[in-house]
Amino acid sequence: MKDGREIGGQSGMGQGAGETAYERLFTPWKLGKFEIRNRICVPPLVVFNWGDESGRVSEKSVRHYEALTRGGAGLVIQEATSVSRGGRITCTMLGIWEDGQIEGLSRLARVFHDADMPAILQLSHAGILAEREADRVAPVPYRCVADGAERVGRGLSAEELVRLEQDFIDGARRAIQAGYDGVELHASHGYLLSELLNGRMNQRTDAYAASDRLFFLHVMEGIRRIAPPDFLIGVRLGAFEPALEDGLENAAWFESHGADFIDAFIGCDWAMDLEKPDTFPFNESIYGAKRIRERVSVPVFAVSGISTGRGAEEVLKATGADMAVIGRGSLVNENWGNDVRAGRNPGRCQECARCMWKVDADRCPGHLLLEKERAGQTE
């Protein structure tokens, strides 16, 4: 996140019907054939150290998604799930690279369905951000600094890119077998799909050049060939890849090639040009969502720094977006949507220098502070 400022004021209190009249946040809408009860989305949030190197679903993950899907959001998208063993962001993240992982994933799909919610997971490959140095790859040989550390990516051959296309298609096949209703392609945050779209990183001169989008054409067509007609394909897309006009062109391309929704973010941190008018009241990510919303007709999700119900309502109105994405707030409080609707304090992220969720989720300061406040209210 380039702009850590939270949207929605300093207090989460006073957001019930008595003070804030929500005109959009709690209105239902349709995503494909699915009825979505409101416009709160929990994004794909990787939880660290909850599994092991097998990439299989743990009991802790099942409980986590049970809480999230009952927490008042209209949509929850399952965390980044790696399509290959070498494409992992962290070696304990969920995987979808082998058939043996289907059984555990089917448990999570049932959790979504039991909550009367479509089951959508995010397909991911870390690219140059892979946890293991030997696994780091990029469209061309590349060196960057990410999270304060130098990353060196080996350039991929055309043959390797063809195999990676199949990895994404096979990941979607396994998701279908597990009972999911859709997938989201993770093409932001500087991961491999983001790198392929970014002309500053992807300087290939063959058919896999950034402007040709051949990788995405093959993946989209491959998934559609094996998926049911109503299967959702969305994309988490950088609005600045590397510049805003590039992001807008990418969004239009995905719409024209059958994307069902666009989950807008910023792009590749070390290779993008952020921009927004000084008069725009929110951060660049929200501005990018507004501009994408103006370019396409498919649903668009807006994300970054939204911390309160009032802030979510303001973002929806200012951008025309279909969903307000609540990330850090949902980690602090899995019941965020229910609490906002009831007028309770939903808590807020404490913006730790190193996110405690990546170390020990049970010690998240925002969550502990909210529990302490709740205990004081009931004494």
Q: Residue holding tokens 């998604």?
A: 65
Q: What is the pLDDT of residue 92?
A: 93
Amino acid in the structure at residue 112: F
Packing angle between helix 284-295 and helix 244-256, nearest 10 degrees? 40
Q: What is the pLDDT of residue 352?
A: 87
Average pLDDT over residues 192-204: 98
**pLDDT greater than 50 at residue 303:** yes
Residue 8: pLDDT band with limits 50, 70, 90: low
In the chain, the percentage of residues whose pLDDT exceeds 70 is: 94
Residue 18: pLDDT band with limits 50, 70, 90: very low
Instruction: Let me know: does 215 contact 257? Beta carbons within 8 Å.
Output: no
Residue 6: pLDDT band with limits 50, 70, 90: low
Average pLDDT over residues 328-336: 95
Q: What is the pLDDT of residue 17?
A: 40
Residue 356: pLDDT band with limits 50, 70, 90: confident
Of residues 17 and 157, the one with the higher pLDDT is 157
Q: How far apart are CA 12 and CA 164, in angstroms?
A: 44
Q: How far apart are CA 185 and CA 172, in angstroms?
A: 10
DSSP category for residue 6? P
DSSP category for residue 116? T
Q: Residue holding tokens 């929850």?
A: 76
Q: What is the pLDDT of residue 353?
A: 84
Instruction: Let me know: does 176 contact 120? Beta carbons within 8 Å.
Output: no
Q: What is the pLDDT of residue 375?
A: 86
Q: How many Å is the Cα radius of gyration of the chain? A: 20
Q: How far apart are CA 163 and CA 259, in angstroms?
A: 22
3-state secondary structure of 89: coil
3-state secondary structure of 137: strand
| DSSP-derived pairing of the beta strands 34-36 and 40-42 | unpaired
Peptide bond just before 281 cis, omega within 30 deg: no
Q: What is the pLDDT of residue 362?
A: 82
pLDDT tens digits, one per residue of 229-246: 999 999 999 999 999 999
Q: How far apart are CA 148 and CA 225, in angstroms?
A: 41
Tell me the whole-structure pTM to 2 decimals: 0.94
Packing angle between helix 214-226 and helix 158-178, nearest 10 degrees? 30
Average pLDDT over residues 294-305: 97
Q: How far apart are CA 154 and CA 140, in angstroms?
A: 7
Question: Which of 185-199, 238-252, 363-377 is the least confident region?
Answer: 363-377
**pLDDT greater than 70 at residue 1:** no
Computed over every residue of the chain, the mean pLDDT equals: 93
Contacts of 81 (CB under 8 A, 6+ apart): 93, 94, 95, 96, 105, 121, 122, 123, 124, 171
Task: Determine what percent of the chain falls in helix, strand and coil, rounding each to the nearest 5.
Answer: 40, 15, 45
**pLDDT greater than 80 at residue 377:** no
Q: What is the pLDDT of residue 11?
A: 38
Instruction: Let me know: does 335 contact 115? Beta carbons within 8 Å.
Output: no
Q: Does domain 29-378 have CATH number 3.40.228.10?
A: no
| DSSP-derived pairing of the beta strands 120-124 and 137-138 | unpaired
**pLDDT greater than 90 at residue 222:** yes
Q: How far apart are CA 190 and CA 242, in angstroms?
A: 11
Average pLDDT over residues 178-191: 98
**pLDDT greater than 50 at residue 216:** yes
Q: What is the pLDDT of residue 2?
A: 38
Q: Indicate the domain borders of the chain.
A: 29-378
| Residue 337 to residues 75, 149, 289, 310, 344, Cα–Cα distance (Å) | 11, 36, 21, 12, 10
**pLDDT greater than 60 at residue 27:** yes
Q: What is the pLDDT of residue 50?
A: 83
Average pLDDT over residues 275-288: 97
Instruction: Let me know: does 291 contact 267? Beta carbons within 8 Å.
Output: no
Average pLDDT over residues 149-154: 96
For residue 378, what are its two tokens?
A: 């009931």
Q: How far apart are CA 146 and CA 48, in angstroms?
A: 18
pLDDT tens digits, one per residue of 34-90: 999 999 999 999 887 788 999 999 999 999 999 999 999 999 999 999 999 999 999
Q: What is the pLDDT of residue 330?
A: 95
Average pLDDT over residues 9-15: 39
Instruction: Let me know: does 85 contact 134? Beta carbons within 8 Å.
Output: no
In the chain, the percentage of residues whose pLDDT exceeds 90 is: 86
**pLDDT greater than 70 at residue 262:** yes
Q: What is the pLDDT of residue 359?
A: 78
Average pLDDT over residues 249-254: 98
Q: What is the pLDDT of residue 20?
A: 57
Average pLDDT over residues 102-126: 98
